[in-house]
């Protein structure tokens, strides 16, 4: 079910692995969320359609899309560490378009990404989130992410300093510090 591509309009969200043909939809989704100026650091999506297609093909990384009636409305990326010293880690990024949030899409995508990490031998999954994005922080905690630290006043958003919250999910629970 995870990798099934819809052939007809179902009016249901389908979450699946991205394909190179999704590149344009991914760019549109990401730019839409960037245009809101409150959820993502970037203001303009930097990859061209061709570069996005190549990124999707990477075997070390995962891109999932949430699709509603053939339109990409959510994107999740997992980028594995590129060095021997951090190959056991990965960074997660997620963006869900306005109008499609608070419907469980992000949670479903993240859980599928965690399963992929387990299959790939990734032990620790990291993410960063603005301290002002309380809904996301709470959702990440419900999934099992822990706050690992903060970078104080890391961002300036609409005239206000915002902390960067560093969160981790231990795919391999044995890595957790004993409490």
d(CA 38, CA 164): 13
Question: Which of 129, 94, 112, 120 is closest to 172 using CA atoms?
Answer: 120
As for how many domains the chain has, the answer is: 1
Is 50 exceeded by the pLDDT of residue 40?
Answer: yes
High-pLDDT (> 70) share of the chain, %: 94
Q: How confident is the model at residue 6 (pLDDT cuts 50, 70, 90)?
A: very low
Q: Tell me, yes or no, whether 8 lies in a domain.
A: no
Q: Tell me, yes or no, whether 2 lies in a domain.
A: no
Q: Kindly report which listed range (6-10, 40-44, 54-58, 158-162) carries the lowest average pLDDT score.
A: 6-10
Question: What pLDDT score was predicted for residue 38?
Answer: 87
Write the CATH number for 111.
Answer: 3.40.630.30
Per DSSP (E only), the strands in 25-81 are 62-68, 71-80
| pLDDT one-digit tens code per residue, 118-172 | 999 999 999 999 999 999 999 999 999 999 999 999 999 999 999 999 999 999 9
**Cα-based torsion angle of the residue sequence 145, 151, 152, 153 in order, rounded to the nearest 10 degrees:** -110
Q: Tell me, yes or no, whether 5 lies in a domain.
A: no
Q: Tell me, yes or no, whether 1 lies in a domain.
A: no
Q: Tell me, yes or no, whether 112 lies in a domain.
A: yes
Range(s) of the domain holding residue 84? 13-175
Question: What pLDDT score was predicted for residue 179?
Answer: 65
């Amino acid at each position: 079910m995870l990798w099934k591509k819809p052939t007809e309009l179902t009016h249901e969200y389908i979450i699946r692995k991205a394909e190179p043909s999704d590149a344009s939809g991914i760019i549109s989704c990401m730019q839409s969320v960037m245009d809101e100026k409150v959820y993502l650091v970037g203001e303009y999506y930097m990859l061209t359609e061709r570069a996005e297609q190549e990124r999707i093909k990477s075997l070390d990384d995962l891109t999932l899309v949430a699709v509603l009636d053939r339109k990409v409305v959510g994107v999740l990326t997992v980028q594995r560490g590129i060095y021997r010293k951090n190959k056991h880690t990965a960074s997660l990024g997620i963006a869900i378009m306005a109008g499609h949030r608070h419907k469980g899409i992000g949670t479903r995508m993240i859980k599928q990404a965690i399963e992929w990490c387990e299959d790939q031998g990734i032990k620790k999954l990291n993410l960063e989130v603005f301290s002002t994005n309380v809904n996301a922080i709470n959702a990440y905690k419900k999934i099992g992410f822990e706050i690992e630290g903060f970078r104080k006043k890391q961002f300036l958003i609409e005239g206000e300093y915002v902390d960067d919250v560093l969160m981790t999910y231990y795919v391999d629970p044995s890595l957790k510090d004993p409490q």
